[in-house]
């Protein structure tokens, strides 16, 4: 088993451990994060119905990033958090449960959370 496989397995284990405790409900959905090498993806999920209420990613903000000259990944992640928060606020949702997906709460994951908080989400 090489290093990347081991890291992936460890992240999956951490994610399962976190998911045992966090369940999204309609009035307080789960805000789950996926981080790849280039992009960040985030979605708000109602686990009782198994539906995604809103989603955002750095792929969707390509035009916004070009307009604002967001070169750094953390800045783009912060923008993704703001966009998702605005989408949820339009739907009347102000509180969420943050599921960091087994990633360390640091860097891009923390920037995404800060962006969502600055746009008015509570978690």
Distances (CA, A) of 23 to 11, 28, 53, 58, 77: 19, 9, 14, 25, 23
**Overall domain count for the chain:** 1
DSSP three-state, residue 79: helix
> What does the pLDDT read at residue 110?
96
Evaluate whether residue 123 is within a structural domain: no
- Model confidence pLDDT, tens digit, residues 31-64: 999 999 889 999 999 999 999 999 999 998 765 5
Evaluate whether residue 61 is within a structural domain: yes
Evaluate whether residue 56 is within a structural domain: yes
Q: If pLDDT is split at 50, 70 and 90, which confidence band does 25 have?
A: confident
Pairing, β 51-57 against β 97-99: unpaired
Evaluate whether residue 105 is within a structural domain: yes
pTM of the model: 0.86
In whole angstroms, what is the distance from residue 74 CA to residue 86 CA? 19
The CATH number that applies at residue 18 is 3.30.420.100
Torsion of CA 4, 72, 79, 116, to 10 degrees: 60
> What does the pLDDT read at residue 65?
55
């Amino acid at each position: 088993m090489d290093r990347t496989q081991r890291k992936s397995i460890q992240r999956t284990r951490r994610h399962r451990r976190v998911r045992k405790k966090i369940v999204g409900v309609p009035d307080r959905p789960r805000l789950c994060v996926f981080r790849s090498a280039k992009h960040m993806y985030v979605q708000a999920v109602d686990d009782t119905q198994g539906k995604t209420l809103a989603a955002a990613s750095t792929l969707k903000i390509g035009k916004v990033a070009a307009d604002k000259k967001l070169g750094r990944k953390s800045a783009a992640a912060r923008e993704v958090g703001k966009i998702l928060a605005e989408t949820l606020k339009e739907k009347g949702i102000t509180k969420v449960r943050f599921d960091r997906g087994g990633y360390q709460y640091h860097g891009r994951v923390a920037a995404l959370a800060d962006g969502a908080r600055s746009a008015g989400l509570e978690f």
